[in-house]
């Protein structure tokens, strides 16, 4: 009698399920951070492939989502680092991919806010997005960002103040 194949214990099923459940949300998060959809998708794909490579060493599979989210945020930081360090001749900036339909959906006010968010320093941007887009508590955001709760608090406060200032200046 042929034995039925055993279910995979390599994490592939869990990773697939995790991807199906959270990839869209993570791409949205990366998109808000980077403003570039292909980059956001690449970052999320890479984070999941990284999770697959490290599945054996993952102590708590329940923290897989946290791991992937951290990878995505790290990737966003790296993208910004490279972009700001090297962008001198702005020919095709990857931010603000907006079709006419997107522009109509977003509206002028939201576009201004999103553009201002992308101009924030990385830590402030992360804190603001995690707190007000993902509605994370300060403790949760601190865990994801790998910083102290107080750092999240101050980064959020400064980020909001900077946003208000930028939006006021843009009027």
Partner 1 sequence: MSTDDQMSIEDRVRTATRAGASLIRDVRPLGAPAPVQLRRRPGPAPRRWVNWGAPLAAAAAVAAIALTLVAIRQAGPPSPAASGSGAAAPVTIPRYYAASTYDAHTGRNGPLIVGDDLTGKVIDTISPPPDSIFTSVHGMPDDRTFVVQAVVYAKPSGLATYAWYLLRIAPGSAHPHQLTKLTIKVPDKTPGVIAYALSPDGRELAVESMPGTIGDTSPDVITLGIYSVSSGAQLRAWTTPAKITSGISQGTLSWLSGGRQLVFGVSESTASQVYYIQLRTLDVTGTGTDLMADSRALLTVNNSGASTCLSLQITSDGKAAICATQYAFVNGSGSNAGCANGGLRFIAFPLPAPKPSRVLYQYGGACHNGESFTLWTDASASSIIGVTRINPDNAGGKEAVQVGVITGGRFRPLNIAKSVPWANYANLGF
Decide if residue 8 touches partner 1 (CB under 8 A): yes
Decide if residue 57 touches partner 1 (CB under 8 A): no
Selected range binding partner 1 among 35-43, 57-65, 141-149, rule: CB under 8 A: 35-43
Decide if residue 2 touches partner 1 (CB under 8 A): no
CA distance 57 to 60: 9
CB of 63 vs partner 1, minimal distance in Å: 18
Nearest of 65, 71, 70, 77 to residue 123 by alpha carbon: 77
Q: Which 8-state DSSP code applies to residue 9? A: -
Decide if residue 98 touches partner 1 (CB under 8 A): yes
Helix (H) and strand (E) counts in the chain: 7, 0
CA distance 16 to 156: 33
Decide if residue 163 touches partner 1 (CB under 8 A): yes
Q: Which 8-state DSSP code applies to residue 60? A: -
Selected range binding partner 1 among 62-70, 91-99, 137-145, 146-154, rule: CB under 8 A: 91-99
Q: Which residues contact residue 70 at a Cβ distance below 8 angstroms, ignoring those fewer than 6 apart?
A: 144, 146
Decide if residue 78 touches partner 1 (CB under 8 A): yes
Which residue in the set 17, 54, 63, 105 belongs to the binding site for partner 1 (CB under 8 A)? 105
Selected range binding partner 1 among 37-45, 57-65, 144-152, rule: CB under 8 A: 37-45
């Amino acid at each position: 009698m042929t034995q039925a194949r055993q279910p995979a214990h390599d994490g592939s099923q869990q990773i697939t399920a995790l991807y199906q459940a959270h990839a869209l949300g993570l791409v949205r998060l990366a998109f808000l951070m980077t403003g570039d959809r292909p980059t956001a998708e690449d970052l999320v794909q890479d984070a999941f492939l990284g999770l697959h490579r490290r599945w054996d060493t993952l102590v708590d599979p329940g923290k897989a989502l946290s791991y992937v989210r951290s990878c995505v945020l790290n990737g966003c930081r790296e993208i910004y680092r490279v972009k700001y360090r090297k962008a001198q001749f702005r020919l095709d900036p990857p931010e603000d991919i907006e079709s006419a339909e997107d522009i109509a959906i977003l509206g002028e006010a939201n576009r201004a806010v999103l553009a201002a968010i992308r101009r924030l320093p990385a830590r402030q941007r992360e804190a603001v997005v995690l707190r007000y887009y993902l509605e994370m508590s300060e403790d949760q955001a601190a865990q994801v960002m790998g910083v102290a709760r107080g750092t999240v608090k101050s980064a959020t406060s400064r980020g909001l103040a900077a946003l208000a200032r930028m939006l006021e200046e843009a009027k």
